[in-house]
Amino acid sequence: MGGVSGLEAARELRSRGDKVRIIFLTSLPQYALEGYEVQAYSFLLKPVLYATLADKLKGIFRLMDEETGKVLKLKNSRGITLIPVKSIIYAESQKHNVILVHENGRDIFQLAMKDLEEQVGGGFFRCHKGYIVNLCMVSQIGPEFLIMGNGDRVPVSRHRRADFIRYFRAYMGDRLCG
């Protein structure tokens, strides 16, 4: 690195206010303690196994998703659309398509609801066979429907209503949306 140590480079990044995640790869474990002053994410001793490095990188990506919010990359007739998960209000299944209603409008994707459920992760609930809702976007719970933040009404099936209420209470109990 042109005569600059990794630790010196990390100090320079931190002095500029850079929040980049740092993983030190070293054959000298004694430098690990000094790395704490630059808030290193991890230290790996050489030789590094691919699986170990991959696990650390996945951990960094998880942290980034939590901090900045996960973004879905979905393909439709217009190309690839990037949609922040936090901006999704709800999804509706129609035939072999999913209509994704989000803060910037609506988009249609050829996607299975089950696949969408896996991609959005926690904070969403399938309240009806054809609907998945973002729990942070629910503004009112009616007897047979939900009113979402954009004013749309989404049905809640009789069979899923009790589970929805239980899940909603548990999810919202210790969270503030926004």
pLDDT in tens, 133-155: 999 999 999 999 999 999 999 99
Instruction: Write down the pTM of the prediction.
Output: 0.63
- Residue 25: domain span: 6-68
Assign 87 a pLDDT band (cuts: 50, 70, 90).
very high
Other residues' Cβ atoms within 10 Å of the Cβ of residue 102: 21
Determine the Cα–Cα distance for residues 154 and 134; give it in Å rounded to an integer. 11
Q: How many domains does the chain have?
A: 2
CATH number at residue 58: 3.40.50.2300
Residue 174 confidence (pLDDT) above 80: no
Residue 1 covered by a domain:
no
pLDDT at 172: 79
Burial of residue 13 (number of CB atoms within 10 Å: 0-12, 13-18, 19+): middle
